[in-house]
């Protein structure tokens, strides 16, 4: 059986540090630490669970989950992300889509996928040399209705089973869940729900995620905004690494960035903290 050798979760955006230099530095350093942790385990593949912000997946696309199956992942370039190619991993991605389908979880293959900031920014930290093959898994938050937290949990459990039973024994897999925390995208008022963010982070570190799995997407959106739905990318990875010990690395309620920014390492049994 293959092995998950490192895992983490993080917000997936950066903005201008002007006027918030100290907060921005803490976020940036936290993301650096998370990236170094993931690649210190020398993964053969990096599976990133994130979202697309309507740059690749058109409004009205019915799929709950999608997966980039191409050999090349050229960033879309939004937010001035450099258009420097990451390597895909078609064999892993297609095999996972097939395995998931057989397990009752539909994941739509996306042969052409140009990662927007949601995938590309975390990769710039986790894969700065662009040498680790990447499998991008996307939760379609623009779908109506949005996938439910429990569906994302099942996706994560399916991913863990796939790695455990269907991958080569020597394969080392890194997992990264990207997005969140609370934010309202496309609204006039810049808001962060710090209480919501801290409550979620406490549940992550306390391993008390059952109530979060039971929430509806509408409930999360009401409390944390349309961008807050992205905590389901975290839930997906947490479900794939249920034995992990999460450690919060950074949290900053960044109103000027229109988002709560957070990140955590998921320490895995048998793998020393980096």
Partner 1 sequence: MTDACDGNVNALLGRLFQEPGLLQRLRSDREAVFREAGLSPQQCAALREGSPDALARVGADPILRMHYLMASNPEIAGHVTIRDFLDDLRKERRGG
Binding site for partner 1 (CB under 8 A): 13-18, 28, 32, 35-36, 53-55, 58-59, 76, 78-82, 117, 121, 124-125, 128-129, 142, 184-188, 226
Go through 153-166 and write b for each residue having 16 or more CB atoms within 10 A of its CB, e for each that does not: bbbbbbbbebbeee
The nearer residue to partner 1, 128 or 242, going by C-beta atoms, is 128
Element (H, E) at 66: strand 65-68
Whole-number Å distance between alpha carbons of 149 and 11: 17
The nearer residue to partner 1, 16 or 170, going by C-beta atoms, is 16
Phi, psi of 35 (to 5 degrees): -60, -45
The nearer residue to partner 1, 162 or 250, going by C-beta atoms, is 250
The nearer residue to partner 1, 58 or 168, going by C-beta atoms, is 58
**Which tokens belong to 185?**
């995208």
Angle between helices 217-228 and 231-240 (to 10 degrees): 110
We find the least distance from the C-beta atom of residue 22 to partner 1, in angstroms, to be 14
We find the least distance from the C-beta atom of residue 268 to partner 1, in angstroms, to be 23
Whole-number Å distance between alpha carbons of 245 and 120: 26
We find the least distance from the C-beta atom of residue 258 to partner 1, in angstroms, to be 9
- Count of CA atoms in the C-beta half-sphere (13 A) of 216: 5
The nearer residue to partner 1, 38 or 175, going by C-beta atoms, is 38
We find the least distance from the C-beta atom of residue 231 to partner 1, in angstroms, to be 17
End-to-end CA distance of the chain: 23
Contact 183, 225 (CB under 8 A): yes
The nearer residue to partner 1, 88 or 225, going by C-beta atoms, is 225
């Amino acid at each position: 059986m293959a092995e998950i050798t490192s895992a983490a979760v993080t917000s997936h955006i950066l903005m201008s540090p002007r006027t918030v230099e100290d907060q921005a530095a803490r976020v940036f350093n936290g993301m650096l630490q998370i990236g170094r942790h993931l690649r210190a385990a020398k993964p053969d593949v990096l599976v990133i669970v994130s979202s697309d912000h309507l740059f690749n997946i058109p409004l009205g696309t019915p799929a709950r989950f999608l997966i980039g199956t191409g050999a090349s992942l050229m960033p879309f370039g939004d937010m001035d992300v450099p258009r420097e190619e990451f390597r895909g991993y078609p064999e892993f991605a297609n095999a996972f889509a097939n395995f998931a389908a057989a397990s009752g979880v539909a994941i739509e293959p996306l042969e052409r996928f140009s990662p927007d900031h949601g995938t590309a920014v975390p990769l710039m930290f986790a894969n700065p040399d662009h040498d680790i093959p990447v499998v991008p898994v996307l939760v379609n938050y623009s779908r109506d209705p949005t996938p439910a937290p429990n569906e994302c949990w099942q996706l994560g459990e399916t991913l863990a089973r796939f790695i455990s039973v269907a991958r080569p024994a020597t394969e080392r897999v890194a997992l990264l869940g990207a997005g969140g925390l609370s934010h309202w995208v496309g609204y006039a008022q810049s808001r962060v729900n710090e209480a919501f963010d801290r409550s979620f982070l406490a549940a992550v570190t306390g391993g008390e995620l059952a109530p979060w799995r039971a929430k509806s997407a509408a409930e999360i959106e009401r409390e944390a905004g349309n961008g807050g739905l992205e905590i389901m990318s975290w839930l997906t990875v947490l479900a794939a690494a249920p034995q992990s010990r999460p450690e919060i690395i950074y949290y900053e309620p960044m109103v000027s960035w229109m988002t709560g920014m957070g990140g955590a390492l998921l320490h895995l049994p048998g793998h020393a903290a980096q």
